[in-house]
Amino acid sequence: MGITKTQIFNTEQNELANTFKVLSNPARIAILEFISKQDACICNDIVEEIGLAQPTISQHLKELKSINLIKGEIEGKKICYCINLKTWAAVQKRLNFFFNTTKVKCC
């Protein structure tokens, strides 16, 4: 159906899955990598770098913003996008918690 039955899972499972979903696109990975390499991060540069149309990049940035992985500061007519260090660390910690607590008992 394309629809996920979120109601049968708990909040932690849904949020974790959603975090993974935001990261599950190579364009968004590339955007994060590119932003992290720049001193100043401007959308138009991202468009040229990634090679996708401007609306597409804008949409990907919106998704990254939806979980606060990045933040954009308006600088004149440009926007300086950068990684939100606080969320970044929190997400990494959460993913590690998932990997560490998912232990193996069989096989």
Partner DNA sequence: ATATATTATCGTAATATTGCAATATATCAA
Partner DNA sequence: TTGATATATTGCAATATTACGATAATATAT
Site string for a second copy, 30-69 (x = CB under 8 A): x-xx-xxxxxxx--------xxx-----------------
Q: Return the number of the residue (7 or 77) whose C-beta is nearest a second copy.
A: 7
**Residue 74 β-bridge partners:** 79
Contacting residue, 10, 37, 76, 100, with DNA by CB under 7 A: 76
Instruction: Please give the residue ranges that form the binding site for a second copy (CB under 8 A).
Output: 4-6, 8-9, 13-14, 16-18, 20-21, 23-30, 32-33, 35-41, 50-52, 71, 73, 80, 82-83, 85, 88, 91-92, 95-96, 98-99, 101-107
